[in-house]
Structure 1
Amino acid sequence: MDSDGQNISRNDTWVWKPFEWEWWICIQLVLAIVGILGNLLVMLVIFWPGRRRCATDILIGALAVADFLTSIFIIPHSKVKMYPDTNAARFYCKIVHTSTLMWISVCASIFTLTTISIERLVAVRFPIWFQRLFSPKRTSIAIVCIWIAAFGINTRSLYARYISDGKCVLSTPSMAFNRFIGVSLFLVEYVLPVIVMVVAHVWTIYILRQRRSSSLRKAQSLVLQMLLIVVITFIICWTPDQFGFLVFNLGIVPFTHLFSPLYRCFVILAFANSCVNPFIYAAGMPKFRRALMDLFMRKSIRGSRGIHSLFAGEGGGGTSEKSYTPTKATESFEV
């Protein structure tokens, strides 16, 4: 019965919880807006028609797409208190209530960043293999595979179900199975990617320090340093949230931990990762800043400043979409 004394039938009525502007909601909204605008600019700069794109450009563009979608999905919205007995409600229960789309985009972002680390290592350590492994076509296929894997991993929403009293609950076969899923996600979405990122960057830095050509090493290091900052930022932002959710899945802390002010801070820090990368690109890459300025000034990117790829490093940095041969690929390696 509602406040006016009239009966509410859960068979055809959506009952929404009151929306409250708590402090974390306000911060989450700001992060969402910044993430949407920042990553949109990155996508416009990279994918603007006529620009040459190396494998690194395509991957960073894909990372911006994943972060852009994550920013959209974290926009605060009212929650459903009681669901009607309809197919639309069941769909909402499985997809929206469980934030499945957000976790798919987050997972795709993590896997894309991991792939970028591997791409940089191969470009420096195995430049001949790099020309074949990271062609624009194969890089695009890899991105599609990343999204398929992200979707497959985040099928936990299938356990969300509508129950007879109008509620949506996430049920699993057993507590042991729930802990297994929680630990598996922690390993696949956090531990393994972090290990791969760190090892790949350390190995790449070691190889660059052995190079004799100072100009060659400087050009490659500029891109690598920027990407290393992106990786470190990812680790800083996501480590508290991942460990906080792990201890919950292991039963070390109660369910109320997910609603505590401490965990709210962890979640906000994790969401911040979706909007910081554009600032890192602008701060660390002069070519990106120039391309962004040209975009705002509506200059043609076919001029001398905009035609080259943005994130390629000299001498093994990237195969351009418009010049995929070992001889022509070097044209896009300027920093």
Structure 2
Amino acid sequence: MEQHSESIEISSAVDDVNSTNTSDWSWTPITWSWWLIIQLVLAILGISGNLLVILVLFQRRKYRKPTDILIGGLAVADFITSIFMIPQPKLSGVPDTILGEIACKLIYSSVFLWISISCSVFTLTAIAIERYIAVVHPFQFKHWVTPRKIIVWFLIIGLAAIAINSRTFGTTWVDSEHGKCMHKYNVPGVQTFSGIMVFLVLFIIPTLIMLVSYSLIARSLRLRSRLYKLQKGVQSSSNVSGPSDRLLVARNKVIKLMFVVIIIFIVCWAADSVALLAYNMRWVERSYLYSPVYHVLVVMAYFNTCANPLIYAIHYPEFRLAVKDLFFGSRTVRSSLFGKDYNLTTKGKVYVNAIV
């Protein structure tokens, strides 16, 4: 998941030294190609969809639980990412000054876009860990996962996102000879190391944590379901007879919902992450960058930013009711939207149905 904007875009063609005034700022106007049009559409969908999630959760802030806070943080990260996805004129000329250096490192590199993307990935990973603790270690949940500790989680996520993208500051600077921003690895092997590190930290490790967490969750649910049936004489896991049963069904809905979110994340980012790793390992030619294949993979990756609100709307009826309540005041009994099972982790007994 290496940064697209910083991927060795040193200037596709080196202009004559005298053709660029090194003391001037210049911007290349937007050329509306098909991929930029799709990117703009995805950005608009991401802004509107994630803003809707934020507003719904804010409306129910009095009932918020750790799961709600984490999903709200995910929506905020995707909302910011969508804003930075809006196509902008390209910074094509900068003066060799401190301000020019700052512009290259912050604007040309699109570092803020990639910090927000990193926050989104790390928050999605944190949600998987929170769900794992809630199901597999329910008695410790209320001690390990609290709204105050979630704030600490977000602080760690933000610092990690900045750290993983800080390499940009050392590899992007002003080419004083031509008055342009350039991105280059001066030390041999650094590009390879950086590509591997980003691939591992922003894709492989989060994916493994998510898949392992949900595998352990599914295993725990199956085992407890058998115990539940033996203790209660339940013949069918679809029986919903009391408050505990309804809360357990609500838990399963949230778990299945977040599993779908994770699968979509893997589908959206897998091809682009592998392709950029191959580029940084020099397994593919430089011509891959900004080729039609490159743009298709980038569009797939960007789709993930607006996908989560669509998933909530399609697979989670409670979200649709919350949206209706937000706009029309449907008199729905308000409660935690995604953390309905919280009370199960604060009582003496925990009965869990199988995921159906």
Q: Shorter-normalised TM-score: what interval?
A: 0.7 to 0.9
Show the 5 A alignment for 1:180-195: 180-195=193-208
- Match of 1:175, SS state, is coil
| Structure 2 residue aligned with 1:333 | none
Do residues 283 (structure 1) and 314 (structure 2) align? yes
**Cα distance change, pair 316–122 in 1 and its aligned pair in 2 (3 A):** farther
- Match of 1:252, SS state, is coil
Instruction: Measure, in 2, the Cα distance between the counterparts of 1:251 and 1:188.
Output: 20
Q: Which amino acid aligns with 1:268?
A: V
Gaps of 5+ in 1: 1-6, 319-325, 331-335
Instruction: Measure, in 2, the Cα distance between the counterparts of 1:118 and 1:295.
Output: 30
Residue in structure 1 matching 2:210, options 194, 197, 205: 197
| Structure 1 residue aligned with 2:172 | 160
Show the 5 A alignment for 1:36-55: 36-48=47-59, 50-55=61-66
Instruction: Measure, in 2, the Cα distance between the counterparts of 1:98 and 1:55.
Output: 34
- Match of 1:204, SS state, is helix
Instruction: Measure, in 1, the Cα distance between the counterparts of 2:79 and 2:132.
Output: 26
Residues 46 and 57, structure 1, Cα contact 8 Å, conserved in 2: yes
Q: Which amino acid aligns with 1:314?
A: D
| Structure 2 residue aligned with 1:172 | 185
- Match of 1:81, SS state, is strand
Q: Which amino acid aligns with 2:286?
A: F
Gaps of 5+ in 2: 1-18, 230-236, 351-356
Shift of 1:316: 5.7
**Cα distance change, pair 317–189 in 1 and its aligned pair in 2 (3 A):** farther
| Structure 2 residue aligned with 1:113 | 124
Residues 122 and 130, structure 1, Cα contact 8 Å, conserved in 2: yes
How many residues get paired? Answer: 311
- Match of 1:146, SS state, is helix
- Match of 1:92, SS state, is helix
| Structure 2 residue aligned with 1:207 | 220
- Match of 1:96, SS state, is helix
Instruction: Measure, in 1, the Cα distance between the counterparts of 2:277 and 2:344.
Output: 37
Residues 16 and 81, structure 1, Cα contact 8 Å, conserved in 2: yes
- Match of 2:287, SS state, is helix
Say which is worse superposed, 267-276 or 215-224, in terms of deviation: 215-224
**Cα distance change, pair 120–50 in 1 and its aligned pair in 2 (3 A):** closer
Do residues 70 (structure 1) and 81 (structure 2) align? yes
Residue in structure 2 matching 1:10, options 22, 29, 36: 22
Shift of 1:175: 3.0
Say which is worse superposed, 86-95 or 69-78, in terms of deviation: 86-95
Say which is worse superposed, 165-174 or 61-70, in terms of deviation: 165-174
Q: Which amino acid aligns with 2:56?
A: V
Shift of 1:41: 0.5
Instruction: Measure, in 2, the Cα distance between the counterparts of 1:195 and 1:136.
Output: 26
Instruction: Measure, in 2, the Cα distance between the counterparts of 1:66 and 1:255.
Output: 31
Instruction: Measure, in 2, the Cα distance between the counterparts of 1:88 and 1:42.
Output: 37
Residue in structure 2 matching 1:151, options 149, 159, 162: 162
TM-score after normalising by structure 1: 0.88
Shift of 1:157: 1.6
- Match of 1:51, SS state, is helix
- 1:286-327 deviation line (CA, Å, top 9, x unaligned): 221111111112x39xx6522x10012436667xxxxxxx36
TM-score after normalising by structure 2: 0.83
Shift of 1:85: 2.9
**Cα distance change, pair 290–162 in 1 and its aligned pair in 2 (3 A):** same
Residue in structure 2 matching 1:129, options 118, 133, 140: 140
Q: Percent of pairs identical after alignment?
A: 40
Shift of 1:141: 1.4
Instruction: Measure, in 2, the Cα distance between the counterparts of 1:317 and 1:285.
Output: 20
| Structure 2 residue aligned with 1:321 | none
**Cα distance change, pair 304–30 in 1 and its aligned pair in 2 (3 A):** closer
**Cα distance change, pair 287–270 in 1 and its aligned pair in 2 (3 A):** same
C-alpha RMSD of the superposition: 2.0
Do residues 310 (structure 1) and 322 (structure 2) align? no
**Cα distance change, pair 19–105 in 1 and its aligned pair in 2 (3 A):** same
Q: Which amino acid aligns with 2:71?
A: I
Instruction: Measure, in 2, the Cα distance between the counterparts of 1:177 and 1:134.
Output: 38
Instruction: Measure, in 1, the Cα distance between the counterparts of 2:81 and 2:39.
Output: 12
Shift of 1:33: 0.5
- 1:67-90 deviation line (CA, Å, top 9, x unaligned): 001101111011122112333322
